[in-house]
């Protein structure tokens, strides 16, 4: 039985705005508690939409952007600056517009960087970057992630972990080089499910009718190998942020009686 929390918003615009407000608050709270916040970004329409809304929000001035560590959950292995890279899109949407400390921004390597076209070497290096920033005394080989955001694909992929691939089954690595990806580009870099599961909070954010079946199967208890999003769980909290269309097929999430409604499945 899942103890995921589900929040359904009326449409994609409200979803991204509400998730942005939530993200700002999460960062401010983490900075108040520890002086610094660590966030893990996702690509995809909803994830980038959320970053755009953070940029547009006057409340983003409450964040000390110089004390935000930025990581990525996955990356499309393409040349630096390519418009399809999750990093490029995140920079355009937010990071180029707020005073982040470049030393705290940790993108995954591009395909024309120091590892050339060797996606496995690039993945191994990212694991080293994460390991070097792991909390002192922690047995987790990654930093403390206050929030790790994810998208959900129509077939249930999350980060760059696709159904029935060796990568979604991987429990040995923190980061994997993904080959033969069914959604272009063919090569990607991704955190594994155990690495995702080290985050304090995991937020799965998606909207649109095309995601309804995957969401329903994930919330219905599908195996992660079939629906990778079903295997993404935070240590303290797993939160699904959906619009009505994406929630439409989920038995545990009946049509909201009010415009916004949060539901925790039984």
Ligand X SMILES: O=C1O[C@H](COP(=O)(O)O)[C@@H](O)[C@H](O)[C@H]1O
**Cβ closer to ligand X: 47 or 143?**
47
Residue found under tokens 């545990």: 252
DSSP E strand boundaries for the chain: 5-9, 37-41, 68-72, 74-76, 147-150, 175-178, 188-191, 201-206, 237-243, 261-263
**Cβ closer to ligand X: 141 or 185?**
185
Q: Find out whether 77 and 112 touch, Cβ atoms under 8 Å.
A: no
Q: Which of 6, 16, 44, 107 binds ligand X (CB under 6 A)?
A: 44
Q: How far is the CB of 44 from ligand X (least distance, A)?
A: 2
Q: Of 36-44, 108-116, 225-233, 240-248, which part binds ligand X (CB under 6 A)?
A: 36-44
Q: Does 49 bind ligand X (CB under 6 A)?
A: no
Q: How far is the CB of 33 from ligand X (least distance, A)?
A: 27
**Cβ closer to ligand X: 58 or 166?**
166
Interface positions, 164-183, toward ligand X (CB under 6 A) = 183
Q: Does 192 bind ligand X (CB under 6 A)?
A: no
**Cβ closer to ligand X: 79 or 99?**
79
Tokens of 47: 């994830």
Contacting residues for 141 by C-beta, under 8 A, at least 6 apart: 127, 130, 131, 134, 174
Q: Does 184 bind ligand X (CB under 6 A)?
A: no
Helix axis angle, 45-56 to 86-93, nearest 10°: 20
Q: Which of 38, 206, 245, 250 binds ligand X (CB under 6 A)?
A: 206
CA 262 remoteness from chain centre: 20
Q: Does 228 bind ligand X (CB under 6 A)?
A: no
- The Cα–Cα gap between 7 and 17 comes to 13
């Amino acid at each position: 039985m899942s103890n995921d929390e589900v929040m359904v918003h009326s449409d994609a615009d409200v979803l991204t705005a509400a998730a942005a407000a939530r993200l700002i608050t999460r960062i401010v709270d983490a900075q108040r508690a520890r002086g610094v916040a660590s966030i893990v970004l996702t690509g995809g329409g909803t994830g980038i939409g959320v970053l755009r809304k953070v940029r547009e929000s006057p409340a983003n001035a409450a964040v000390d952007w110089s004390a935000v560590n930025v990581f990525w959950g996955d990356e499309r292995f393409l040349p630096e600056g390519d418009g399809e890279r999750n990093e490029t899109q995140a920079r355009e949407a937010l990071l180029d517009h707020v005073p982040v400390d470049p030393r705290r921004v940790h993108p995954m390597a591009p395909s024309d960087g120091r590892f050339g076209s060797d996606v496995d070497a690039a993945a191994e290096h990212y694991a080293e970057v994460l390991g070097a920033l792991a909390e002192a005394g922690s047995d987790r080989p990654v930093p403390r992630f206050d929030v790790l955001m994810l998208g959900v694909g129509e077939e249930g992929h999350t980060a760059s972990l696709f159904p029935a691939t060796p990568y979604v089954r991987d429990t040995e690595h923190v980061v994997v080089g993904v080959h033969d990806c069914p959604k272009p580009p063919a090569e990607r870099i991704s955190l594994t499910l155990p690495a995702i599961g080290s985050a304090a909070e995991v937020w799965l954010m998606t909207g649109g009718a095309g995601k309804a079946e995957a969401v329903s199967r994930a919330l219905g208890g599908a195996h992660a190998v079939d629906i990778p999003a079903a295997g993404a769980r935070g240590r303290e909290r797993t939160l699904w942020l959906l619009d009505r269309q994406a929630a439409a097929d989920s038995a545990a999430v009946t049509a909201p009686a009010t415009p916004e409604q949060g539901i925790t499945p039984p």
